[in-house]
Amino acid sequence: MSLPRTASIVIIGGGVVGCSIAYHLAGRGVRDVVVIERETVGSGTTSKAAGGIRAQFPTETEIRFSLEAIEVFERFEEEFGVDPGYKKIGYLFLVSDPDDLRGFEPRIALQRRLGVDVRVIAPADAKKLVPALRVDDLIAAVWGPGDGLAGPAEVTNGFAKRARQRGVTIAEGVRVTAIERAGDRVSGVTTTDGAMSAPLVINAAGPVAASVGRLAGVEIAVHPRRRHIFYTEPFPEIPGPIPLTTDRASGFYFRKELEQVLLSPGDVEDIGTDFEVPVDRAKIEEAVTKAVARVPVLEQATIAGGWAGLRPLTPDDHAIIGWAPGVQGFFLAVGFGGHGFQHSPATGRHVADWIVNGTPSMDLSLFDPGRFAQGRAKAHDQGPDAE
C-alpha cells in the first residue's frame, strides 16, 4: 500500500502512545489520520516494557491517568477484542530508610484522597505477600493491591487494530526524514516513501523524540536511558502470582511471569542509540547480587535471558504533552519514561480531546512542553522509580 499524499494529522511513531492517539482521534470522527512507523507497530521501546500499571504516582494528574488505565484494561477485551493479559497483582515497595518512608507519606495521602487503595504495612506483612523475601532490614513496605500488569504488545495491537478499523492508515517500514514548515507552521513530512502534506504533526517517537523534534526545529528535553530486564528458567520455588516488588534501597525489582521470574537491577544509564540498545552482561551480575540480597532463594535460579530498552526520561520525570512552543501545528506526546505503557490510554484520550475540542478536558499543565525553558519544572519529583 502506498502512503497517502495528504493527511489531516500525521502521527510519527506507532508505539503504544501513537496507536492510542490514533485510535482516539478516529473515535472522535477525525478522518485521514496517518501513523508513520519506521519499523513495525509496537517494536520500539514499547516492546521492552515490563507491563506494570500502578496508581502510586506523586501527582493528581498522573494518578488520574493511572486510574483511567486500570478502568480501560479491565474492559479492554470487550472494547478491543484482544485479551490484554491484565492481572491485578499489586505493587509492593520495600522500604529500609526512614527518610524514604517519610517521602512516601504525602504521596500516599494524595493517592488515598483520590480513591487509591494504598497502605503502609509491616515487614512481616510484606513477607506474607512474598514469602521468599528477606525482611529483617526493612522498616516498612508500601502496598498497592489495585496495581497490576498487562501486555504492552497486546494493548498496542488492540489500539492499532481498532484504529485501522476506524479508517486510520498505519504505514509500517516508513521513516519520517524531515518535517516541513511554511513559516512558523508545520505543513507536512518527508518520508522514505515520499512527501505528505498535513497541517498537524504529532511527535510520538518515544526515546528518539528529541531528534524528531529537531526535524521541526524544536528542542525537546527527552533523554533516553537504558534499563535491563532479565528472566530466569522456570522457578517454582517462588510460586506466583506475586506483586511487582521493588527494593527501594537498591532499585532492584522483580515479579513472576508465568513460571519464570522477571528481574531488573533498576539501572539508569546513558547508553544506547536510536537503533541499538546493547545488553551488558555485567548487569546480570548486578541484578543477581541485588536479587539474592533481597530474595535469598533466587541463588538457586538460572538466568535464561534478558533484554535492554530505553526509557524516554525528562528532567523532572513527567511526560511532555501539548503544542510545541514556537511551531504551530506540531504536537508533542513524549517523555513517558518508565510509565508510557500504563499512561497510554489516558494520553490517547486527552490528546484527541485537546486536538478536537481545542482545549484539554482536564488540567494537563504538569506536562506543559514549555516548563523547562521557563524554569518552572521541579527536579525529580516523580517518587518511586518502579519500572
Ligand X SMILES: Cc1cc2nc3c(=O)[nH]c(=O)nc-3n(C[C@H](O)[C@H](O)[C@H](O)COP(=O)(O)OP(=O)(O)OC[C@H]3O[C@@H](n4cnc5c(N)ncnc54)[C@H](O)[C@@H]3O)c2cc1C
Residues of this chain that interact with ligand X (CB under 6 A) are: 12-18, 36-39, 43-46, 48-52, 175-176, 204-208, 212, 227, 229, 309-312, 336-342, 387
**Residue nearer to ligand X on the CB measure, 3 or 101:** 3
Interatomic CA distance for residues 185 and 325, integer angstroms? 11
Alpha helices, H only, the chain: 16-27, 60-74, 76-80, 98-113, 123-129, 152-165, 209-215, 282-294, 344-357
CA atoms within 13 Å, Cβ hemisphere of 363? 6
Kindly state the smallest distance separating residue 136's Cβ from ligand X, in Å.
28
Kindly state the smallest distance separating residue 100's Cβ from ligand X, in Å.
21
Q: What backbone torsions phi and psi does residue 304 show, to the nearest 5 degrees?
A: -95, -20
Kindly state the smallest distance separating residue 4's Cβ from ligand X, in Å.
15
The type of residue at 6 is T
**Residue nearer to ligand X on the CB measure, 94 or 201:** 201
Degrees, nearest 5: CA angle 225-337-339: 140
**Residue nearer to ligand X on the CB measure, 311 or 349:** 311
Kindly state the smallest distance separating residue 53's Cβ from ligand X, in Å.
7
Contact 198, 331 (CB under 8 A): no
The type of residue at 242 is I
**Residue nearer to ligand X on the CB measure, 207 or 329:** 207
**Residue nearer to ligand X on the CB measure, 66 or 96:** 66
Cell triple for residue 188?
507536512
Kindly state the smallest distance separating residue 122's Cβ from ligand X, in Å.
27
